[in-house]
Structure 1
Amino acid sequence: MRAAARWTQAHLTAHRPAAVLTALATAGITISLLLATALFAYAADPWQRAFTQSSGAHVWIHTQGGAPAGSLAGLDEVRATSGPFRTVRTSASLQPGDARATLELRGAAKRPTTAAPQIVAGRWLDANTDAGTDAAATKGIVLESSVARAMWAKPGDTIVLSGFAAHLRVVGVADTAEVTFRAGETPGVAWVLPSTLDASDAGRDQRGRTIGLQLGDAADTDYVVQRAVTRLGADQITDVSTWRQAKAAAEGDNQLLGRLLGLFGLGALLAAALAVGGAISTRIRGHLRDISILKAIGFTPGQVVRMFVALHLGLALLGVALGALLTQVVGTLVPGRIGEAMALWRQLPGHAWLTLVISGGVVAFIGAATCLAAWRAGRVPPVPVARAATAAGGRASALTRRALGLRVPPALVLGWRGAFHRPLRSSAAVARLAVPLLLITIALGAWTTLDRFTSHPENVGLPAALTARSDTLGDRELRQLLDSQREMTAYPGAEVQALVPGQTGTITLRGLGTDARPYPGAVVEGRAAHGPDEAVAGQGLLDLLDARVGDWVRMTVAGRPHVLHIVGRSIETTDGGRVVSTTLDTLREGDSDDPAPRADAPPRPDFYQLVLRPGADPDSAREALSKASAGRLEVRETPNPADQLSAVRAVSVGLIAVLTLIGLVELATTVGAGVRDRSRDLLALRAVGLTPRQITAVIVSATAFITLAAALAGTTLGVLASQWLINLQGRASGWGAGIAQCPAPGTLLLVIVVAVLIAATAAVLPAARAARRRLADSATDLL
């Protein structure tokens, strides 16, 4: 034991930088995997917790006011219902002229037991205090938390609602497990007393009913929706939302962050295992004589293997412990969603055992790689065998002789030959060093794609920076106001909810632009919609309908069919890509065939998408519009996914740092192997007249050539892999392929140059020391 301890101490002293880098890289891998697990829990747990605590409904059916929604409670698959509630669609703001949010007011005499709103601030409605005694009294309202955040509303605030003579006072804010509010897409939910709902002067088109269905088996969701449509009729159902949509909306971009961290954490773990295994194999080759001596004095092969395994498992344990400790202590202090995820994860019951499982998995994985490499140490014979005195590479190749004849510097020629004269060993070194460089390139690809969303949103389906709408200005007046702004072009638009074939869910049917002025959307497959009945669709809709570009699709809007020809695929970052877009003229043509004008047919555009001139500032344009309209125009910035993915930048920086540490570990191994191999050739190199400086250059250039080959392979494969992975994620999220952006050639060149410079710099000092060693031409130097 004493001899093993002394050998371990001497080994660590001789390879101190590599040991430190190995421990730090293992710590970084552990942090990445723990943060990925926390983000996955953060993405899924809040919705699941709200659904469980509220005894949530699996399906929400929104119908016309006269539909017998209560009859759905008799379906065999339904275990319990929430409602039906009478509803009114309206818009609300804190002050007249402020930004307005669309609300679905539900009349509830008491707090429901199924899909019960969970009060997070204030209280629930009280019939004795919130009903009011006359039309002018202040009545109460409870807002769902997402719409309350969007309106900056809190208990005690007074809000103004269209169609209500009296203002309403916010008495509470509640969480639900339904689809959350999104401006221009999903209305916010609010609860009022039935008497308050009766005071609204809303028309029939704004009134309806909503019922939540809790099922015995969540897998029956689509079947129950079909039965509900059959029982009530497609013309009576205006919207359908399911628990899957609500969960996906709640998870949002945290799943993407979790996948990114998990992918790079596992990739870094693989790279670290390869680096550790390569380091052990290289050190075993460099210490064959020492291992033979250990066996000669009585060490068994098993003891030798256990020494190597114990040494590197100790480093892995140190790194894992450091990573777990840093995650627990500092994780909650990180600003943004990562810190929030860590704070939530620590409250979950499975937090402790998940931490142990992940930490143990990292140690076990690295330990497996260590055992495979250390097994070779047990096979070293106890009697050292002298190597052949001739060069391992044999005679110089014709290319080498020709390069020397062309007066190429001998250091470069001999460095190239030294790097690749053992193809199998050189290929292994290149592969191990290429793995972290490949992952770094993928991280840069994610960063570049995020920059594309920020700097060129028009290329990813977001040409309009602002959306404008007004409830007080006439359409002609509004159009004149927008046309007077020289920094923008206005495109009219309208949206309706449509039922897809099979009646299992709703999609967004959007009309943007006109035939005379088409909307400049980003089409990545096919072409833009120009003629009548032509449309472009998002990937989510194509997947939902199992359709392709060129197909005709049928959908139902308030009982009326619309048949559209899908001529292209666009990038749609909203509603999970379940969007079909056509021109406003085509959307209205589908409505005009009805002999009786429908209440939901938009008599005017619902909104205007504002595409700014290059270089225009959205904030300045919004202020100019607000001033020109005297506060009567509501202007919002178009949501950009990059705003919610800003944490990807910090994640990418951290991952690149971890991968750099792993690359340095492998680089230290490559340098050590190069110095050891060239040390055997020192006498021959000196005999042919090379100076110590030239010998140093030979060793440095050999390391640089190996790194250059790894950098070229890693960046090339990384570009291909990043394109495939990002587009795969885009397709899975419903956005569609075509969002990936390659890193700039200058960035890739910089990665290659920096990698080669780091390798050359790291090899200078060891090479200089080896070049100045005094060697004797003896068998001991050839072992």
Structure 2
Amino acid sequence: MRAMLRWAHADLRTHRGEALFLVAATAGIVASLLLATALFGYATNPWQRVFTRSHGAHVWIHTGSAADTGRLAVLDGVAAVSGPYRTATTTVSSRGARAGVELRATDAVPPATGRPLMTSGRWLDPAAPDGVVLEAGLARALWAEPGDRLTVAGRTLIVRGVAETAERRYRPGDRPGTVWALPRAVPRDGPAGQVVGLRLTDPGDTDYTVQRAVTTLGAGAVGDISTWQQARAEAQGDTKLLGQVLGLFGLGALIAAALAVFGAISTRVRGHLRDISVLKAIGFTPGQVVRIFLVQHLAFAVLGAALAASLVRSVGSRLPGRLGDAVQVWQGLPGHLPALLLIPVAAVLFIGAATCLAAWRAGRVPPVPVLPPAAAPGGGLSGPARKALGLRVAPALVLGWHRAFGRGRRAPAAVVRLALPLLLITVALGAWTTIERFDSRPEQLGLAAALTARPDGTLGEREATALLVANPDVRAAHPGLEVAALVPGQTGTIALRGLGTRERPYPYSIAEGRAAQGPDEAVAGQGLLDLLGAQVGDWVRLTAGGRPQVLHIVGRSIEPENGGRVISTSLDTLRENDPGLRPSLYQLQLRHGAHPRTVSAELADASRGRLDIHEVTSPADHLSALRGLVAGLVTVLALIGLTELSTTIGGSVRDGERDLLALKAIGLSPRQITTVTVTAVGCTALTAALAGTALGVPLAHWLIDHEARATGIGAGIAQAPSVLHLVALTAAAVAGAVALAVLPAARATRHRLADTLSAVA
């Protein structure tokens, strides 16, 4: 044991750089995995993030104004109470859009429990008695921003801020939005009540606490109850796809990190073949050699993992941009500490397994060192290499290419390990460009209309159409209606949509088949086809409003709404069965460059409030967090790629030390010898980048379309990264590899002759 420890100590003193690299590589990989976990928690738990930061209430109880809600504070299991707040239910309008709201009277100081988190603007101020703060979902529906004016029961209120809340969100026609206001701005006439929030000691006792609260107040006094489970379920439904995407990236990053660690350890063992032979020659057994390397690398791994965990915990929240925000939020989420411990432990265990395999190979090294057959740089040159020399290509470049790819299985393994993070970065860029496509070319993804206008009962069809097309920014106004329909054998409903006319059909995004043109023809979303087990060309029978509809599906359209459970035809087709049908909405296509908010305000003024106008929502709105997270994911993958690149550089430099005498003997200068090593590293990086991008583009297409099909939108939305982005990624990988390799390659050429002889002895 003493001899083993003495050798390990001597090896550490001799190869301090390699030891430092292994510790740094382990720390970088563990830190990357921890940051990936933080990003995943940040993106897929938006509700939990808001709930934690706002010290949210687990239960919100709406009661009548006469209920004695003060008795709830003394219930067992209630840790804190928010409110009670006096409420009034009313309707607000802004820029032609209307929404049902609950005005909530609160103080100028935000509450400690259930505190709204400001995303823009400021909280209420007694100096501005007409100021209000809107829930973020309600603000989006109304297109309202700080400084805008709202009309509430004939009174004008000014938006001071927009805030996020962990309560259930605004849903048109289902749940009113929340508007926080000072008590004097909340009317006392009309429907009134109060709401109180309860934060529980044990969230698992929510159902029991709700029962006790209802018993305490009386069932007749309770109007509505919403729990944290309901709010969380609603919020997580919008991030399911995002969670799947990030989970896939996390798995890929884990595999890439595992390969990078294995490559680093294997490269280091290969560099110690001479030392291993000496150890065996002086009496060390294969088992002792294995234990030396295992204990040594486990110590490096433990040190690196502990360093990474300490750094992420202490300074991770100070990182710039989304990474710092993600770490800060992650540290406040449940399960943060177990993940902070389990990830480093798992990394150390994997490094131990990889070390066992590499050390087992080290134990089989013969006591007498054997010069590798590829020691002579010119030996075994391939035909293309000889032809390149014959064409007077610089010998340094030819020998560099030969060192990169002419030495057995190590070159393909290095290319694979480096290509994997580059492949995942390409997929991440594909996800980014697909989301950008919803904004830049929405008409190709089922979002040809930018606005939806719903006339009230006083506007006739001709009058509404004339009013809409009179606006110079409205390119087309397609009349239509949407009703719930039943299909045979199904208890749920699907959406039957009649939109446009045969003379002016609505421009659906057709991914398969063709557009509906004749009578009884329709296009369907992927979700509907999956529900019915149908395909393009089939006939389906629906029942809407007690009237049967038999439609011929001639195409599959990209449908981002209603989970793709939509079948669309022309309004003329629906009127053939029911001539009394009148359009209930108009889908408005705007001219290029027209701003939806400006057009909405103009139409609202022109119609004198008889049009309810809303902006068409895009799936990209729910995935907007992915845009900021792509940069974080690319950073994590780049760290893993940098670790593997460092291993590749170390192996190439070590090969260069072995070849140094031969290269000097054939007349190469130190600069040319440095060029050989740099060329070898650059060729490896270029091959890995080309392979990663070439495989990443079709993989991104397949993954995005597969997820789109699973969510009902349908395949056909994927957009590959631009050629410019792929070229930039390849150039960055090669330039980074060359820049990192120059200094160690130049140092290797200055080794003494005795050192070089010992390296090949």
Fold equivalence (TM over 0.5): yes
Alignment of 1:739-754 (within 5 A): 739-754=717-732
Q: Pick from 20, 23, 45: which aligns with 2:24?
A: 20
Tell me the secondary structure at the aligned position of residue 508 of structure 2: coil
Q: Pick from 94, 97, 100: which aligns with 2:98?
A: 100
2: distance between equivalents of 1:95 and 1:486? 24
1: distance between equivalents of 2:440 and 2:325? 23
Q: Pick from 687, 695, 705: which aligns with 1:709?
A: 687
Matched, 1:504 2:491: yes
Aligned to 1:483: 469
Say how many residue pairs are matched. 635
Deviation by residue 1:218-270 (Cα, 9 ceiling, x = unmatched): xxxxxxxxxxxxxxxxxxxxxxxxxx999975423322332232222221111
Aligned CA-pair RMSD: 4.1
Aligned to 1:763: 741
Aligned to 1:560: 547
Amino acid at match of 2:273: L
Tell me whether 532-541 or 294-303 shows the greater mean CA deviation: 294-303
Shift of 1:393: 7.0
Amino acid at match of 1:635: I
> Does the 8 A contact of 1:44 with 1:251 survive in 2?
no
Deviation by residue 1:726-773 (Cα, 9 ceiling, x = unmatched): 111111111111111100111111111111111111111122222233
2: distance between equivalents of 1:148 and 1:485? 25
Matched, 1:718 2:696: yes
Amino acid at match of 1:285: R
> Does the 8 A contact of 1:34 with 1:358 survive in 2?
no
2: distance between equivalents of 1:426 and 1:445? 28
Aligned to 2:448: 463
Tell me whether 614-623 or 328-337 shows the greater mean CA deviation: 328-337
Alignment of 1:191-590 (within 5 A): 250-295=235-280, 300-318=288-306, 320-322=308-310, 325=313, 342=330, 345-346=333-334, 352-353=337-338, 355-387=340-372, 391=376, 394-471=379-456, 472-488=458-474, 489-590=476-577
> Does the 8 A contact of 2:433 with 2:720 survive in 1?
yes
Shift of 1:298: 6.2
2: distance between equivalents of 1:176 and 1:555? 37
Alignment of 1:165-184 (within 5 A): 182-183=171-172
Deviation by residue 1:475-506 (Cα, 9 ceiling, x = unmatched): 32221121112222211121111122223211
> Does the 8 A contact of 2:378 with 2:399 survive in 1?
no
Aligned to 1:652: 630
Deviation by residue 1:639-683 (Cα, 9 ceiling, x = unmatched): 122223221122111111111111111111111111211222222
CA distance 1:120–1:781, change in 2 (3 Å): closer
> Does the 8 A contact of 1:332 with 1:339 survive in 2?
no
CA distance 1:362–1:730, change in 2 (3 Å): farther
2: distance between equivalents of 1:532 and 1:187? 35
Amino acid at match of 1:321: A
CA distance 1:547–1:246, change in 2 (3 Å): farther
Structure 1 residues not aligned, in runs of 5+: 56-90, 105-118, 123-142, 162-173, 191-195, 198-243
Tell me the secondary structure at the aligned position of residue 507 of structure 1: strand
2: distance between equivalents of 1:571 and 1:585? 22
> Does the 8 A contact of 2:486 with 2:542 survive in 1?
yes
Deviation by residue 1:246-303 (Cα, 9 ceiling, x = unmatched): 9975423322332232222221111111111111111111122233344556651232
Q: Pick from 611, 634, 644: which aligns with 2:612?
A: 634
Deviation by residue 1:143-162 (Cα, 9 ceiling, x = unmatched): 99977995799xxx99669x
CA distance 1:340–1:454, change in 2 (3 Å): farther
Tell me the secondary structure at the aligned position of residue 529 of structure 1: coil
Structure 2 residues not aligned, in runs of 5+: 62-88, 103-112, 117-133, 155-164, 178-189, 192-228
Tell me whether 23-32 or 300-309 shows the greater mean CA deviation: 300-309
- The two structures have a TM-score, normalised by structure 1, of 0.72
CA distance 1:761–1:148, change in 2 (3 Å): closer
Percent identical pairs in the alignment equals 52
Alignment of 1:729-748 (within 5 A): 729-748=707-726
Alignment of 1:628-707 (within 5 A): 628-707=606-685
CA distance 1:681–1:9, change in 2 (3 Å): closer
2: distance between equivalents of 1:246 and 1:679? 63
Tell me the secondary structure at the aligned position of residue 740 of structure 1: coil
Aligned to 1:125: none
Q: Pick from 28, 36, 40: which aligns with 2:40?
A: 36
Amino acid at match of 2:571: L
Tell me whether 26-35 or 569-578 shows the greater mean CA deviation: 26-35
CA distance 1:296–1:757, change in 2 (3 Å): same
CA distance 1:342–1:574, change in 2 (3 Å): farther
> Does the 8 A contact of 2:496 with 2:566 survive in 1?
yes
2: distance between equivalents of 1:32 and 1:374? 30
CA distance 1:353–1:670, change in 2 (3 Å): closer
CA distance 1:369–1:530, change in 2 (3 Å): farther
Tell me the secondary structure at the aligned position of residue 753 of structure 2: coil
2: distance between equivalents of 1:711 and 1:436? 9
2: distance between equivalents of 1:147 and 1:447? 27
> Does the 8 A contact of 2:322 with 2:628 survive in 1?
no
> Does the 8 A contact of 2:446 with 2:509 survive in 1?
yes
CA distance 1:363–1:527, change in 2 (3 Å): farther
> Does the 8 A contact of 2:455 with 2:612 survive in 1?
yes
Amino acid at match of 1:272: A
Shift of 1:709: 0.9
Tell me the secondary structure at the aligned position of residue 650 of structure 1: helix
Tell me the secondary structure at the aligned position of residue 423 of structure 1: coil
1: distance between equivalents of 2:739 and 2:321? 36
CA distance 1:96–1:16, change in 2 (3 Å): closer
Amino acid at match of 2:414: A
Tell me the secondary structure at the aligned position of residue 759 of structure 1: helix
Tell me the secondary structure at the aligned position of residue 564 of structure 1: strand
Aligned to 2:11: 7
Amino acid at match of 2:621: D
2: distance between equivalents of 1:444 and 1:608? 36
CA distance 1:738–1:258, change in 2 (3 Å): same
Deviation by residue 1:8-57 (Cα, 9 ceiling, x = unmatched): 4654434535642441232121221244256555579999xx9x9799xx
Aligned to 1:219: none
1: distance between equivalents of 2:720 and 2:409? 32
Shift of 1:522: 0.8
Deviation by residue 1:361-393 (Cα, 9 ceiling, x = unmatched): 344334433433333233334443444596377
Aligned to 1:234: none
CA distance 1:342–1:98, change in 2 (3 Å): farther
